[in-house]
């Protein structure tokens, strides 16, 4: 199950996320989203956990808990097709 992790402090690393989520089960992938120009974190990322029951346990345990000074938001990631379309700028 792919999890969305939001409200991350800019100092959080992929290692920090892996460490926090590994306490609840196997973590197969961690992706911290960064600005492509500056390389700075955008304050959110994704964690992939192959076992759904472990992922659910991580959501329940870690949602709204502090990580490096900020309460993180943890939820199941929504597929791109389920999100509303982005607004296109009009010129």
Question: Domain segments of the chain: what residues?
Answer: 2-75
User: What are the structure tokens assigned to 50, written together?
Assistant: 């192959």
CATH topology of domain 2-75: Alpha-Beta Plaits (3.30.70)
Whole-structure pTM value: 0.85
- pLDDT tens digits, 72-91: 999 999 887 766 667 777 77
- pLDDT tens digits, 36-56: 999 999 999 999 999 999 999
Residue 36 and residue 85: Cα distance in Å, rounded? 22
Closest CA to 22 of 4, 49, 44, 3: 49
């Amino acid at each position: 199950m792919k999890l969305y992790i939001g409200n991350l402090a800019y100092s959080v690393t992929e290692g920090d996320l892996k460490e926090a989520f590994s306490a609840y089960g196997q973590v197969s992938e961690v992706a911290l989203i960064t600005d492509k120009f500056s390389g700075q974190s955008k304050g959110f990322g994704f964690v992939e956990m192959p076992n759904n029951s472990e992922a659910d346990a991580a959501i329940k345990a870690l949602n709204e808990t502090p990580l490096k000074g900020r309460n993180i938001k943890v939820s199941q990631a929504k597929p791109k097709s389920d999100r509303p379309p982005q607004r296109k700028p009009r010129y």
